[in-house]
């Protein structure tokens, strides 16, 4: 491997550092009409009347849309494959507003200031309704959040709007109740995970214009350009051959940009006025009016023998999807499907639950996507079991976890909203990850669960957890690529895959270069343009390296074969006698040869009737979704008087198969870990009793700064996934999954209190310690 | 936020005249948090031309001009030298260098924000605010009264106090969940201020009184912390509960006293 | 109102509103490297150098900048490239949105701090948020840059 497993500098890194205009707002027409959204101040209300007369007359206002002026097509903004596994429950604008920040009216004006002033002139007469703000009281609440008749689902998912239920799901293997009843030890606990905000530094941004073919062009900061085109067409009732979607550079996404945001509003304004428009969200809009991680309640029961051998796991989940059901079903299912297979040797397993509507900001896709929630419950409960049995938590995992060559029935039963895909695990180095991680953090020296020494009010503790994710959605999500040979022997790689800053343009170029045995510099990448690049479902579900990467590899191999077969014709030798080494096409004995540089020129300029364009296209749909695995360890130091704690070390050993670009993979891991740590210890979307978000800016919602970074040590296991491109699996999400459980376990180890609701704040730690003392 | 006109007066008289004659006019200080305001300001008054950007030292006082940025206040050798660097320590975690390069000392105290770290720290020093018309006003009076006046500078008496600042935050640059400043005079009398309760800093008078009568043992520091936590009123907000703040007060006050007596 | 500004060493006379923030004025005048991230002075993406000191252009009235000199990444390409080489090599540029602001703060740190420790580096740069990298790659890169510059 010459071009992969190599830390090639990110190909757009220097240009971005030098501030080249590359993001949506940089590319918008300088005269673009400004699109602003008037948003609901109420958590739940019906609009009795809305009067825009005064606002429309305000100088500089171009047009205003209310629910009376837009097509009433029901759709979902989720940005998923088709048929969508999310309820179709959203209108462009509606007579109901269902959370504080929900859209009431779209205002287009010459400047921000004009738009702001015009919004103040819109008169709205509300019938304020009783909101549902406690997700544990949402089901069968007398307030029905979606009373309208249109919402539906594309396949059965237990959707029942009259009961505020977005979806339900239930599965089992064996008789869980029976096995639990007969287990020697049972852990029965309830955990809560909070809503987390994505906080990509670039806010949601989109711009639109009509081109000289009179087609609608949308440039937008999105993870899913092709889905977005489909959804815009569906919502506006327009043929999608009239729409082009271009994704420029994206300023961070993390799932937040899988859904659509202002694109529809720009489309409406530009279609109506014929002029360019742009919609740049404020930070407050991103917090209040986009999406956040689904908050969950997770009830878990684990049955085991006294020896520590697990017998049964029962996981029941209640999830809060907020006002709309984007990703309601799939995030909730993944809380089970990407955690429970870790312990595949149980006699019985059950997973089920309900996703409810509330009058909160909608839940949406967010890195970890249910797995982080499930992992907190499962891996906290495993620690509680270890404590109860007085077994080293490391040994308890080793005894029960999945191993290479094994499978889990869950893979077959649970998929993306429906049935899954059976798979044998061909690469799983969890045993190594645990062993190496425990060495790195000196587990055996540091782990003790009694007689902790407190020095100057400080005491240390250590914790661990294991995790898994997936690599794309098998038999569904597709990644395609095309390669074009140019004169001088370099290639254009066109990919639908969406680089969100992750470096996928770079690693996909590396994969193409590896297959063709050419330097990465000879691969010129262009990505994510619905007119020009081949299909790709987009960047989500940890799919790009595995799915798009396999698509690129197939395409590059096809190009290589094309060069060989066409080269053989030119050299007038047999194809079976022809080789291409990346530079030269030649017969095996070397007697006939021509350089790629020369032949590529000839094919385009000089060979008369033998002139031709070499172009290869191919695509890939996964037959399986090989999980990356990891073991995470943390050491914390708790101030026993204040509950405040420092994370001293975080160690992660990861099996993501071959790292196509080790430094970029490391960046995914370090970034994911810190986001997970943020969720574990302070990030928390909070509302007041009226349903107004208290944490709607970066002064009140804190993400980790560089001073908050613990000593993080990441290593990669030597691993090779046979189904992956050059042995690679995914690495985008796995990093975020472990910190909540690891830190909860480390705090327990340090001070003997178990925090079961995230985030683990100093306040919760101290108050739990005091409660324990009183007992 | 809307500003109708922007004024950069050449003299403080001129600035004062705009402030007192023009309705809805405002001194803008560094203007760092103006963007968050929903105000309609008729005249924004920028004091940049008035040479109020200085930190100097006389025999008895440290003088800090109103337009001195928090960053200058943080790194200045004079402020670092006195009172165990409490001024510098109290502000070094405010957001970031860039914000501290904008925000001014005058703005920071005029904002009278409950979460203010600087006000808590200054409270335990012998600090006066020099206003253009009203003249010298004790910091505590400045905080508690309304002045339609211009802060020219603050002055702090160099009285050999030892001081300590303590705060608990979620992230390193977050607003404090609670902050505490304690100072001790050469005559063994203490000043204890507790801020971000989440209300603005107030004094723990009973704890101060208690410390006057006892020696400087760790036990007495802990007792003083307990007294402070019982005499001061705390409330809950989304950052922390009153109960937790009370606990923190106990510990932080006691730790600050111990640090001073080390 | 009209103000005089020196943007990237060029004297300009610019027509602004009295309540306009420097960020908007700079973006309108071609400095697209200066980014809008948060509106509350919290993220550092809008950092520019004002008389060589880093400030948040989103929280600085353009009128207040009258007569001062402003440097953005557009006006310091050579120096930016020197620093960024290390960031790119360490994988420290993911989405890249926060990087122009970060690099400007690094430039001013270099002038202000002599031989800074890792703790001093992260403290000085803590106003530049990044959500992608987890910061460790930045720290490795900046330490290396400062080391090799010696």
Neighbours of A606 (CB within 10 A): 12
Contacts of A673 in chain C (CB under 8 A): 134
Distance, in Å, from the CA atom of A42 to the CA atom of A31, rounded to the nearest integer, reads 34
SS3 A719: coil
Contact A642 B240 (CB under 8 A): no
B: neighbours with 3+ CB pairs under 8 Å? A, C
The pTM of the full predicted model, rounded to 2 decimals, is 0.98
| Nearest-by-CA chain A residue for C95 | A501
Which of C51, C59, C112 should one mutate to test binding to chain B, selecting the residue with the greatest count of B CBs within 10 A? C59
Question: A546 vs chain C: nearest CA distance in angstroms?
Answer: 19
Which of C37, C126, C136, C140 should one mutate to test binding to chain A, selecting the residue with the greatest count of A CBs within 10 A? C136
A649-708: per-residue pLDDT in tens?
Answer: 999 999 999 999 999 999 999 999 999 999 999 999 999 999 999 999 999 999 999 999
Cα end-to-end span (Å), chain C: 46
pLDDT band at A449 (very low <50, low <70, confident <90, very high): low
* Domain covering B162-260 assigned CATH 3.30.390.50 in the classification: yes
- The domain tally of chain C equals 2
**Residues 6 or more apart whose Cβ sits within 8 Å of residue A500:** A223, A250, A252, A253, A254, A257, A539, C95
Distance, in Å, from the CA atom of A658 to the CA atom of A664, rounded to the nearest integer, reads 12
Q: In what order do the strands lie in the sheet with C69-71?
A: C10-15, C2-7, C69-71, C47-50, C53-56
Q: What CATH number has the domain bearing residue C128?
A: 1.10.150.120
Architecture of the domain made up of A478-621: 2-Layer Sandwich (3.30)
Using the 3D structure, point to which of C74, C101, C127 is the last residue of a domain: C74
pLDDT at residue A636 above 80? yes
A364-392: per-residue pLDDT in tens?
Answer: 999 999 999 999 999 999 999 999 999 99
Contact C40 A26 (CB under 8 A): no
B55-157 CATH fold:
3.30.465
Where does residue A592 fall: left (phi above 0), alpha (psi -120 to 50 degrees), or beta otherwise?
A: beta
Asked whether A493 and A507 are in contact (CB, 8 A), the reply is: no
Strands A711-716, A645-655: pairing is parallel
Q: Which of B67, A251, B32 is nearest to C55 (CA)?
A: B32
Question: A198 vs chain B: nearest CA distance in angstroms?
Answer: 17
pLDDT at B250: 98
Distance, in Å, from the CA atom of A745 to the CA atom of A750, rounded to the nearest integer, reads 9
Cis peptide before A509 (omega within 30 of 0): no
Using the 3D structure, point to which of C74, C96, C111 is the last residue of a domain: C74
Contacts of C44 in chain B (CB under 8 A): 96, 98
Burial class (CB in 10 A: 0-12, 13-18, 19+), B212: exposed
Structural tokens at position B144: 């508690």
Distance, in Å, from the CA atom of A538 to the CA atom of A550, rounded to the nearest integer, reads 14
pLDDT at residue B35 above 90? no
**Residues 6 or more apart whose Cβ sits within 8 Å of residue C102:** C44, C47, C87, C125, C128, C130, C138
A151-187: per-residue pLDDT in tens?
Answer: 999 999 999 999 999 999 999 999 999 999 999 999 9
Q: Say which residue the tokens 């009258």 belong to.
A: C66
Q: Are C48 and C16 found together in one domain? A: yes
| 8-state DSSP, A529 | B
SS3 A197: coil
Contact C56 B46 (CB under 8 A): no
pLDDT at A703: 98
Structural tokens at position A509: 């170029």
Which of C42, C89, C139 is the closest to A698 by Cβ? C42
Distance, in Å, from the CA atom of A60 to the CA atom of B256, rounded to the nearest integer, reads 58
pLDDT at A93: 98
Distance, in Å, from the CA atom of B14 to the CA atom of B46, rounded to the nearest integer, reads 11
Q: Is C53 on the interface with B (CB under 8 A)?
A: yes
Which of B36, B172, B196, B218 should one mutate to test binding to chain A, selecting the residue with the greatest count of A CBs within 10 A? B172
Contact C60 B32 (CB under 8 A): yes
Q: Is A763 on the interface with B (CB under 8 A)?
A: yes
C: neighbours with 3+ CB pairs under 8 Å? A, B
Contacts of B173 in chain A (CB under 8 A): 705, 707
Distance, in Å, from the CA atom of A306 to the CA atom of B9, rounded to the nearest integer, reads 81
Distance, in Å, from the CA atom of B230 to the CA atom of A689, rounded to the nearest integer, reads 29
Asked whether B262 and B254 are in contact (CB, 8 A), the reply is: no
A671 membership: H or E segment, kind and range:
helix A662-681
pLDDT at residue A337 above 90? yes
Asked whether C105 and C123 are in contact (CB, 8 A), the reply is: no
Q: Which of A315, A314, A316 is nearest to A303 (CA)?
A: A314
| 8-state DSSP, A93 | S
C41-57: per-residue pLDDT in tens?
Answer: 999 999 999 999 999 99
Q: Say which residue the tokens 């979607």 belong to.
A: A245
Which of C72, C93, C138 is the closest to A706 by Cβ? C138
pLDDT at A433: 98
Contact C32 A19 (CB under 8 A): yes
Question: How many helices (H) does chain C have, and how many strands (E)?
Answer: 5, 5
Question: A216 vs chain C: nearest CA distance in angstroms?
Answer: 25
pLDDT band at A254 (very low <50, low <70, confident <90, very high): very high
Every domain range in chain A assigned CATH 3.30.365.10: 295-473+624-774, 478-621
Q: Residues A7-35, buried b or exposed e (16+ Cβ, 10 A)?
A: bbbbbbbbbbbbbbebbbbbbbeeebbbb
pLDDT band at B149 (very low <50, low <70, confident <90, very high): very high
Q: What CATH number has the domain bearing residue C38?
A: 3.10.20.30
CA quadruple A204, A210, A216, A217: dihedral sign? negative
pLDDT band at A413 (very low <50, low <70, confident <90, very high): very high
pLDDT band at A583 (very low <50, low <70, confident <90, very high): very high
Which of C17, C19, C127 is the closest to B98 by Cβ? C127
Averaged confidence pLDDT in chain B: 96
Structural tokens at position A149: 């008749």
Average the pLDDT over A1-8 and give the result.
96
Averaged confidence pLDDT in chain A: 97
C69-127: per-residue pLDDT in tens?
Answer: 999 999 999 999 999 999 999 999 999 999 999 999 999 999 999 999 999 999 999 99
Distance, in Å, from the CA atom of B96 to the CA atom of C58, rounded to the nearest integer, reads 14
Neighbours of A574 (CB within 10 A): 10
Question: A707 vs chain B: nearest CA distance in angstroms?
Answer: 6
Domain span at residue C17?
2-74
Contact C47 B172 (CB under 8 A): no
Average the pLDDT over A564-581 and give the result.
98
Which of C7, C56, C131 should one mutate to test binding to chain A, selecting the residue with the greatest count of A CBs within 10 A? C131
SS3 C97: coil
Q: Which ipTM was obtained for this model? A: 0.98
E strand spans, chain B? 2-7, 26-27, 40-45, 55-57, 61-65, 127-131, 135-138, 151-157, 162-169, 176-184, 190-195, 202-203
Q: Is A698 on the interface with B (CB under 8 A)?
A: no
pLDDT band at A416 (very low <50, low <70, confident <90, very high): confident
Which of C39, C87, C136 is the closest to A709 by Cβ? C136
The count of CB pairs under 8 A between chains B and C is 87
pLDDT at C150: 83
Average the pLDDT over B47-59 and give the result.
97
Average the pLDDT over A535-543 and give the result.
95
Q: Which of C126, C139, C22 is nearest to C86 (CA)?
A: C139
Using the 3D structure, point to which of C54, C74, C94 is the last residue of a domain: C74
Cα end-to-end span (Å), chain B: 49
Which of A19, A252, A664 is the closest to C100 by Cβ? A19
Q: How much of chain A, in percent, has pLDDT values that exceed 90? A: 98
Q: Are C62 and C98 found together in one domain? A: no
pLDDT at A226: 97
Q: Is A583 on the interface with B (CB under 8 A)?
A: no
Asked whether C98 and C88 are in contact (CB, 8 A), the reply is: no
Contact A682 B170 (CB under 8 A): yes
In CATH, which superfamily holds the domain spanning A13-129+204-280?
Aldehyde oxidase/xanthine dehydrogenase, a/b hammerhead (3.90.1170.50)
Q: Are C142 and C102 found together in one domain? A: yes
Contact A766 B247 (CB under 8 A): yes
A390-407: per-residue pLDDT in tens?
Answer: 999 999 999 999 999 999
Q: Which of A638, A628, A633 is nearest to A742 (CA)?
A: A633
Which of C38, C92, C99 is the closest to A283 by Cβ? C38
pLDDT at residue A632 above 90? yes
Q: In what order do the strands lie in the sheet with A205-210?
A: A61-65, A103-109, A33-39, A277-280, A205-210, A216-220, A243-246
Q: Are C67 and C80 found together in one domain? A: no
A602-613: per-residue pLDDT in tens?
Answer: 999 999 999 999
Cα end-to-end span (Å), chain A: 61
Which of C58, C63, C128 is the closest to B96 by Cβ? C128
* Cα A178 from chain centre: 37
Asked whether A97 and A45 are in contact (CB, 8 A), the reply is: yes
Distance, in Å, from the CA atom of A45 to the CA atom of A95, rounded to the nearest integer, reads 9
Contact C59 B2 (CB under 8 A): no
B59-88: per-residue pLDDT in tens?
Answer: 999 999 999 999 999 999 999 999 999 999
| Nearest-by-CA chain B residue for A763 | B244
Architecture of the domain made up of A295-473+624-774: 2-Layer Sandwich (3.30)
| Nearest-by-CA chain C residue for B32 | C59
Average the pLDDT over A719-726 and give the result.
98
Alpha helices in A407-468 (DSSP H): 409-413, 430-440, 443-446
């Amino acid at each position: 491997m010459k071009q992969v497993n190599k830390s090639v500098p990110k190909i757009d890194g220097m240009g971005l550092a030098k501030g080249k205009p590359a993001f949506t707002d940089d590319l918008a027409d300088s005269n673009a009409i400004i699109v602003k959204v008037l948003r609901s101040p109420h958590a739940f209300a019906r609009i009795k009347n809305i009067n825009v007369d005064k606002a429309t007359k305000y100088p500089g206002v171009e047009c205003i849309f209310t629910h009376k002026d837009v097509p009433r097509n029901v759709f979902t903004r989720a940005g998923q494959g088709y048929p969508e596994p999310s309820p179709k429950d959203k209108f462009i604008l509606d007579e109901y507003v269902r959370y504080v920040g929900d859209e009431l009216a779209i205002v287009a004006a010459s400047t921000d200031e004009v738009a702001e002033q015009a919004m103040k002139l819109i008169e709205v007469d509300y019938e304020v309704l009783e909101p549902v703000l406690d997700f544990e009281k949402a089901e069968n609440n007398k307030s029905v959040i979606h009373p309208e008749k249109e919402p539906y689902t594309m396949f059965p998912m237990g959707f029942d709007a009259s009961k505020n239920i977005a979806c339900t799901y239930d599965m089992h293997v064996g008789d869980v109740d029976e096995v639990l009843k007969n287990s020697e030890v049972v852990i029965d606990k309830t955990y809560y995970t909070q809503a987390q905000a994505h906080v990509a530094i670039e806010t949601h941004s989109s711009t639109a214009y009509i081109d000289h073919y009179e087609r609608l062009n949308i440039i937008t900061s999105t993870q899913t350009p092709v889905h977005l085109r489909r959804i815009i067409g569906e919502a506006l009732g327009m043929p999608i051959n009239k729409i082009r979607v271009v994704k420029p550079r994206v300023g961070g996404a993390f799932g937040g940009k899988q859904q659509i945001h202002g694109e529809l509003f720009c489309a409406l304004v530009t279609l109506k006025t014929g002029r360019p428009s742009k919609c740049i969200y404020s930070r407050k809009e991103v917090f209040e009016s986009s999406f956040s991680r689904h908050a969950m309640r997770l009830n878990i029961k684990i049955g085991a023998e006294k020896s520590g051998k697990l017998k049964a796991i029962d996981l029941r989940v209640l999830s809060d999807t907020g006002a709309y059901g984007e990703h309601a079903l799939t995030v909730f299912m993944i809380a089970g499907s990407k955690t429970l297979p870790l312990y595949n040797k149980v006699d019985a397993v059950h997973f089920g639950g309900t996703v409810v509507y509330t009058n909160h900001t909608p839940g949406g896709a967010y890195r970890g996507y249910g797995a982080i929630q499930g992992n907190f419950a499962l891996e906290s409960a495993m620690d509680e079991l270890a404590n109860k049995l007085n077994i080293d938590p490391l040994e308890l995992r080793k005894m029960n976890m999945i191993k290479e060559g094994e499978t889990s029935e869950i893979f077959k039963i649970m998929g993306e909203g429906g049935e899954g895909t059976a798979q044998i695990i061909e690469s799983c180095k969890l045993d190594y990850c645990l062993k190496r991680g425990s060495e790195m953090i000196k587990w055996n020296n540091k782990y003790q669960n009694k007689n902790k020494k407190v020095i100057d009010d400080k005491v240390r503790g250590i914790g661990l957890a294991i995790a898994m994710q997936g690599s794309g959605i098998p038999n569904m999500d597709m990644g395609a690529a095309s390669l074009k040979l140019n004169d001088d022997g370099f290639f254009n790689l066109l990919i639908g895959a969406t680089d969100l800053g992750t470096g996928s343009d770079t690693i996909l170029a590396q994969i193409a270069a590896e297959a063709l045995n050419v330097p990465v510099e000879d691969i010129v990448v262009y990505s994510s343009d619905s007119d020009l690049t081949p299909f790709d479902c987009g960047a989500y579900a940890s799919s790009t390296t595995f799915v798009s990467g396999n698509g690129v590899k197939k395409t590059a191999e096809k190009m290589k074969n094309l060069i060989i077969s066409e080269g053989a014709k030119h050299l007038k030798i047999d194809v079976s006698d022809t080789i291409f080494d990346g530079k030269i096409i030649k017969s095996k004995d070397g007697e006939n040869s021509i350089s790629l540089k020369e032949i590529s020129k000839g094919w385009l300029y000089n060979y008369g009737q033998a002139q031709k364009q070499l172009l290869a296209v191919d695509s890939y749909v996964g037959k399986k979704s090989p999980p990356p695995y990891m073991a995470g360890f943390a050491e914390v130091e708790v101030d026993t008087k204040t509950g405040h704690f420092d994370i001293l070390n975080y160690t992660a050993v990861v099996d993501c198969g071959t790292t196509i670009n080790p430094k970029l993979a490391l960046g995914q891991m370090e970034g994911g870990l810190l986001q997970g740590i943020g969720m574990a210890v302070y990030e928390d979307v909070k509302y007041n009793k009226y349903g107004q978000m208290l944490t709607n800016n970066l002064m009140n919602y804190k993400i980790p700064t560089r001073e908050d970074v613990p000593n993080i040590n990441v290593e990669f296991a030597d691993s090779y996934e046979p189904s992956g491109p050059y042995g690679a699996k995914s690495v985008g999400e796995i990093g975020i999954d472990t910190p909540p459980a690891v830190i909860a376990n480390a705090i327990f180890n340090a001070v003997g209190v178990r925090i079961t609701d995230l985030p683990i704040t100093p306040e919760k730690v101290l108050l739990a310690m005091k409660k324990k003392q009183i007992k | 936020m809307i500003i109708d006109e922007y004024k950069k007066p050449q003299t403080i008289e001129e600035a004062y005249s705009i402030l007192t004659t023009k309705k809805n006019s405002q001194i803008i200080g560094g203007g760092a948090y103006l963007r968050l305001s929903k105000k309609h300001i008729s005249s924004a008054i920028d004091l940049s031309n008035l040479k109020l950007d200085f930190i100097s030292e006389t025999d008895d006082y440290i003088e800090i001009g109103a337009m001195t940025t928090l960053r200058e206040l943080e790194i200045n050798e004079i402020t670092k030298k006195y009172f165990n660097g409490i001024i510098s320590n109290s502000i070094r975690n405010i957001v970031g260098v860039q914000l501290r390069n904008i925000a001014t000392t005058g703005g920071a105290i005029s904002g009278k924000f409950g979460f203010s770290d600087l006000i808590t720290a200054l409270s335990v020093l012998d600090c006066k605010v020099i206003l253009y018309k009203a003249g010298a006003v004790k910091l505590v009076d400045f905080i508690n009264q309304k002045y339609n006046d211009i802060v020219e500078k603050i002055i702090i008496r160099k009285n050999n106090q030892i001081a300590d600042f303590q705060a608990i935050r979620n992230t390193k640059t977050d607003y404090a969940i609670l902050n505490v400043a304690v100072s001790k005079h050469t005559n063994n009398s203490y000043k204890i201020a507790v801020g971000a309760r989440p209300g603005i800093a107030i004094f723990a008078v009973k704890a101060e009184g208690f410390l006057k009568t006892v020696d400087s043992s760790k036990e007495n520091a802990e007792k003083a912390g307990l007294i402070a936590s019982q005499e001061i009123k705390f409330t809950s907000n989304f950052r922390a509960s009153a109960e937790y703040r009370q606990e923190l007060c106990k510990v932080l006050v006691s730790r600050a006293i111990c640090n001073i007596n080390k | 109102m009209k103000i005089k500004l020196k943007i990237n060493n060029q004297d300009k006379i610019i027509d602004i509103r009295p309540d306009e923030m420097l960020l908007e004025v700079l973006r309108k005048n071609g400095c697209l490297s200066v980014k809008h991230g948060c509106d509350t002075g919290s993220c550092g993406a809008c950092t520019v150098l004002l008389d060589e000191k880093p400030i948040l252009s989103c929280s600085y009235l353009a009128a207040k900048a009258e007569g001062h000199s402003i440097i953005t990444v557009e006006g310091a390409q050579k120096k930016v490239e020197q620093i960024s080489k290390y960031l790119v090599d360490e994988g420290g540029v993911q989405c890249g949105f926060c990087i122009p602001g970060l690099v400007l703060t690094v430039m001013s740190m270099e002038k202000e701090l002599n031989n800074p420790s890792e703790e001093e580096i992260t403290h000085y740069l803590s106003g530049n948020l990044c959500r992608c990298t987890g910061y460790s790659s930045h720290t490795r890169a900046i330490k290396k840059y400062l080391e090799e510059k010696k």
